[in-house]
Amino acid sequence: MAAGVPATLYPSEGRGRRLAAIATLGGSRASIYRHLDIPAANLGKQATRGHGSGPYPVMTRIQMRAGLDLLPTWALEQKAAANRQVIAVMRQRLAAGEEVARMYQDPGLAWLERQADVAEDLVARRKRTAENRPGS
């Protein structure tokens, strides 16, 4: 663990640190998948299932999960709640016929919704893991 960095910044000590190191060194998508122990056969399938060409980056759920997994649980909870709130407000504006920025039109809202889903899933998994640990 990095000196002076709170333990919560490394939710999954091994994988999180490897991803951070790969990203820092400019690792390719293939090297990230390899370090996540994802079979090479899945690489092509996942790459073709990346979402969106709008204002948000094209990425698979696995890539999104890997990035969000680096955040502490409290930040994931706040991120998911904020995304849900933005989605609700922007959908109301769209339904009322108001003009919204491109990033808040349907493709952008779908991306935010996927991100909120992944963040909520990570929070739930972490809480289940914490409940199942002896002595916690």
Q: Mean pLDDT lowest for which of 36-45, 50-59, 92-101, 125-134?
A: 36-45
Sole residue written with tokens 């951070």: 20
Domain-located, residue 89: yes
Domain-located, residue 1: no
Domain-located, residue 15: yes
Q: What is the pLDDT of residue 55?
A: 65
Q: What is the pLDDT of residue 11?
A: 46
Domain-located, residue 5: no
Backbone φ and ψ of 120, nearest 5°: -65, -35
Domain-located, residue 69: yes
Question: What does pLDDT average to over the chain?
Answer: 74
Report the pLDDT averaged over residues 67-92: 96
Q: What is the pLDDT of residue 100?
A: 93
How many Cβ atoms from other residues are within 10 Å of residue 28's Cβ?
9
In 39-131, beta strands by DSSP E = none
pLDDT exceeding 90 applies to what percent of the chain? 46
Query: What torsion, rounded to 10 degrees, do the Cα atoms 30, 34, 40, 45 define?
Result: -60
Domain-located, residue 134: no
17-54 pLDDT, tens digit per residue, is 555 554 544 555 555 555 555 554 444 444 444 544 56
Range of the domain at 115: 11-129
Nearest alpha-carbon partner for 106 in 58, 54, 33, 67: 54
Q: What is the pLDDT of residue 78?
A: 97
For residue 10, the SS3 value is coil
Domain-located, residue 112: yes
Of residues 84 and 31, more confidently modeled: 84
Number of domains in the chain: 1
Domain-located, residue 135: no
